[in-house]
Amino acid sequence: MRAGIERAFDLDPAPRPTEELSTELEPRPGPELEQHRSVSGLGEPDPGTVAGRRNVFDGELVEAVGEHATAGATGEVADLEHQEASVGEYRDVAVARGEPLEPPDPGVPGSRPCDERLVGFEARGGRPSNSGVGPLPAHPSGRIGVAARRRRERGMRIGMLTGGGDCPGLNAVIRAVVRRGAGEHGYDFVGYRHGWRGLIDGETMPLSLETTHGLLARGGTILGTSRTNPYKVDGGVERVKATMLRDEVEALIAIGGEDTLGVAHKLSLEGVSVVGVPTTIDNDLSATDCACGFHTAVQTATDAIDRLHTTAESHDRVMVVEVMGRHAGWIAAYAGIAGGADIVLVPEEPFDLADVCERLARRHRRGVGYSILVVAEGATPKAGTMVLQDGDVDAFGHVRLGGIGNALAPAIEERTGFETRVTMLGHVLRGGTPTAYDRVIATRFGLAAIDAVHTGAFATMVALRGTDVVTVPIEDGVAELNTVDERFYADARAFFA
């Protein structure tokens, strides 16, 4: 190592004091210096400290640390024998060794749990200690010292995931978070694949300005998703925390609906720094006027109802249109009003099959030979009016819904004699490109989420209040379901057959 330093700086073999060495280590101006700064991400050298100097001589990158230096070429970091250790780097060393994460106290001799005392470090305030340089233990990757220091010079590392059912606008949220986080704050991002399962299994993908380019109008999620619940997996929560520690993730942005943000809330109670983003077509999260993805689902359902009007009229049929929404009837109510449905059935108000059939018959007696009935997947009949089959239960304890339309259509045809058909929109409501409204709200949610991380407003969820995007306690968003209120449903009922 010494010979390499002598060659790089054209030094005499005999060692000289650090002060004498420092006067000779002035960076040489020229294109080579700018090129290496660009490739390696290094900033301007600090002429006031030897440890802060980065120099380029004859195309070779040299970082001087006291009387030692580390040399690398073409952007690669060479083996590290000695270098100064910041308080932040000490944490990395402890993690690599499996030691406690308490930072060393530079003022108390012997306070470091490592055998080799990490002395001579400069604290974040730039105050040097009075000791010399000690050796850093090796990290498995061989890159922890310089890489960790460069990352901390840019900012923290943030994890991001999308969980639960997908919806239009997820990618737009990811794009906005990275755009402001990396572009303005210099943060690093790591994406976890397939929701909470990615944190349990340690499956990641890079997120950067380059990898998130062009996502605004793209449906789905580049991160993938799943309905994995770490609290239902053996050791799941511990594995989530271990993955975050492994990846040096200091904060987490959880993007999803009731279940995803419910897990985020529980983790926040255990000390994990989390910010939530409400994205669900069901629009069933409290504390926000609207969730990202809802308006696109409504528009998709409305477009389908518009098309069904013409074929229903041509064949004098009753068309039963089943939409998603779980136990909240927002999609059915909004799309029913927008699409001119004749009857809308929602989970919030159990329906009477006899009343439904009477309304359809009355419409036919008025000379209208077709009808459109919109039903939410979670709608249920009043006790004793219909028999429904029980569904399976997912990892969050929810019954898998879907199929009410298939039960309702034959019952209507049997009682009325009207030819009845079913259209189950199902997952088509989750797909496709987001509407202009959802692109805007997703972008604003993403920007607000990274702002919350930047200001340390953890255990919160971004929310829409009127036209303002605010942060609220994440607990408020998942405390209870946001369901269709009676006054809104009365507006839809005014147009019933």
Decide if 156-293+434-478 and 294-432 have a common fold. yes
Record the pTM.
Answer: 0.69
Higher-confidence residue: 401 or 385? 401
Q: Which two tokens stand for residue 480?
A: 């209870």
What are the φ/ψ torsions at residue 159 (nearest 5 degrees)?
A: -95, 155
Answer whether residue 333 shows pLDDT above 70.
yes
Average confidence (pLDDT) over 358-379:
95
Q: Where are the domains of the chain?
A: 1-78, 85-154, 156-293+434-478, 294-432
pLDDT for residue 238 is more than 90: yes
Per-residue pLDDT tens digits for 243-291: 999 999 999 999 999 999 999 999 999 999 999 999 999 999 999 999 9
Query: Of 442, 451, 452, which Cα lies nearest the Cα of 175?
Result: 442
Tokens of 364: 């036919």
Q: Is the pLDDT of residue 161 over 80?
A: yes
Does the annotation mark 282 as catalytic? yes
Query: Which among 92, 166, 259, 282 is annotated as catalytic?
Result: 282
Interatomic CA distance for residues 381 and 262, integer angstroms: 29
Which CATH class, in words, describes the domain spanning 156-293+434-478? alpha beta
DSSP 160: E
C-alpha–C-alpha distance, residues 96 and 185, integer Å: 27
Q: Report pLDDT digits (tens) over 61-89.
A: 333 333 333 333 333 333 333 333 344 44
Listed range (135-139, 198-202, 397-401, 420-424) with the worst mean pLDDT:
135-139
The neighbouring-strand residues paired with 375 are 322, 345
Mean per-residue pLDDT of the chain: 77
> Is residue 127 pLDDT above 70, yes or no?
no
- Is the distance from CB of 231 to CB of 237 less than 8 angstroms? yes
**How confident is the model at residue 398, as a pLDDT?**
61
Tokens 């994995």: give the residue.
228
DSSP conformation letters of 56-123? EETTEEEEEETTEEEEESTTPPPP-SB----HHHHHHHHHHHT---PPP-TTSTT--SSSS---SPBP
Q: Which of 249, 240, 245, 286 is nearest to 267 (CA)?
A: 240
* 421-438 pLDDT, tens digit each: 999 999 999 999 999 999
Question: Mean per-residue pLDDT for 339-346?
Answer: 97
Q: How far apart are the C-alpha atoms of 195 and 221, rounded to whole Å?
A: 10
135-139, 177-181, 333-337, 395-399: the lowest-pLDDT one: 135-139
Helix (H, G, I), strand (E, B) or coil at 32: helix
Phi first, then psi, for residue 87 (nearest 5°) are -60, -40
Q: What is the pLDDT of residues 163-203, one digit of tens each?
A: 999 999 999 999 999 999 999 999 999 999 999 999 999 99
Give me the phi and psi of 368, to 5 degrees please: -100, 115
Q: Does domain 294-432 sit in CATH 3.40.50.10140?
A: no
Q: What is the CA radius of gyration of the chain?
A: 30
